[in-house]
Amino acid sequence: MMSQQVFADRLGKSKAWVDKVERGVRRLDKFSVVYDIAEVLQVDVEALLGNDAERRPEMLNCIDQVEVEEIRAALERYDQMSAFCQEPPPSPPLAELRKAVCYAWLRYQHAKYVDLARSLPKLLRDAQGADSAYANGQEASVAAHLLGQVYQIASSVLRKVGEHELSWLAADRSIAVSQRAGDQLLSGRASHRVASALLSLGRVRPALDVNVNIANRLAVSSQDRAQERLSVYGMLLLNGAMAAARIGHSATVRDLIAGAEEAAQELGGGQDDYWTSFGPINVQLHRAAAAVELGDGRSAVECHERLDQEKLSAILPERRARHYLDIARGYTQVGDIEKASEMLLEGDRLAPSEIRCRPLAHEVLSEVLRRTRGTPPAPIAELAEQMGVGL
């Protein structure tokens, strides 16, 4: 049994503060404090808040608000500032942190969003702690590089589940940290994440400008690390094409995709440099997605039908499932609801979280159900029930 004084000391609060909380005189109105309490007591935040019973059964495979708030609390920490005034807290060895970051990337690329979301708060705190602990040493750039990656992972996951403001914050943090790491390409990848968050927020013109401006800078930079540079450059162009499509600039879409296609041909086969999965097949997936954004579902479907299925099957699950979601939208645009349903089910089979946890997928499924004549097929009805989408 932990005494009030020991608990207060570990929490960094006074005994009087703990006593008031226990007696209900003082409310816990900051999630960061709740998280610290859970950490000291070594219990899950959900158990501490008693939120397990409130979770809807059909949403257990998705990130819920408790998990989002845990990530928010980790993003709100400013341990780097306190390091100026006192000795930084212990941090994991960089080799151990590097393994954890690599594993987090793998989970993201396989659309394991729930597992990733539950591990992200600790990974963020560990990476922030390492960045502080090694700030003045020879490994400062390594620690900053790892923290920059973790911010990018957090940004990507948060955008997937519709937390666009938090996604923007995490991506913006990554730019500053990546610059400290001295890695222009990591910074370019962070810019890509910022642009994606801006696009999700409806800030289309800034998203287009960020992608094109940074791509242009990379195009005239030193040709060192040419392969990696081409991968990041190409993805910026593709992301810019998606922004241009959102505002109906078809000529800009064609130009940007053509530039990315040229880079992909120079690069050769698909690469995962800086977690881009960039290559000829990814260019074609973006061509289809841009057509959907332009409202040209027929071109998107034709592009999908021309794909080399063997090469498509080699793409990582998250990217493939995202493509199936795009093509489901394309099929709804041409009125082929049966095919749209097939694409949703194929995406769900491949990477359930990419379909069940994304607000966009909920919108597409709602449209499919609305336009289905009579009773929907059993697999679609079952998916709708699991996703909480009304029939």
Q: How far is CA 46 from CA 34, 39, 73, in A?
A: 10, 12, 14
Q: Of 358, 339, 355, nearest to 347 (Cα)?
A: 355
What are the residue ranges spanned by the domains of the chain? 1-46, 55-201, 332-391
Cα 76 to chain centroid, rounded: 18
Please give the average per-residue pLDDT across 32-58, as a whole number: 53
Instruction: Report which DSSP code applies to 3.
Output: -
pLDDT at 57: 38
Burial class (CB in 10 A: 0-12, 13-18, 19+), 331: buried
Tens of pLDDT, residues 85-98: 455 557 789 999 99
Does position 24 have pLDDT exceeding 60, yes or no? no
Q: Of 19, 40, 61, 9, nearest to 361 (Cα)?
A: 61
The residue assigned the tokens 């309490």 is 37
Q: Of 78, 73, 66, nearest to 30 (Cα)?
A: 73
pLDDT at 59: 42
Residue 54: band (very low, low, confident or very high) from pLDDT cuts 50, 70, 90: very low
Annotate 200-232 with b (16+ C-beta within 10 A) or e (fewer): beebbeebbebbbebbeebeeeeeeeeebbbbb
Mean pLDDT of all residues belonging to the chain: 87
Residues 6+ apart with CB under 8 A from 162: 358, 359
Q: In a 3-state reduction of DSSP, which class is residue 1?
A: coil
Does position 79 have pLDDT exceeding 80, yes or no? no
Please give the average per-residue pLDDT across 246-267, as a whole number: 96
pLDDT at 87: 58
pLDDT at 175: 95
- How far apart, in whole angstroms, are the C-alpha atoms of residue 380 and residue 389? 10
Residue 106: band (very low, low, confident or very high) from pLDDT cuts 50, 70, 90: very high
pLDDT at 53: 36
- How far apart, in whole angstroms, are the C-alpha atoms of residue 30 and residue 319? 36
The rounded percent of the chain whose pLDDT value lies above 90 is 69
Residue 137: band (very low, low, confident or very high) from pLDDT cuts 50, 70, 90: confident
Compute the radius of gyration of the chain from its Cα atoms: 23
- How far apart, in whole angstroms, are the C-alpha atoms of residue 55 and residue 138? 46
Tokens of 206: 């800034």
Amino acid letter at 255? D
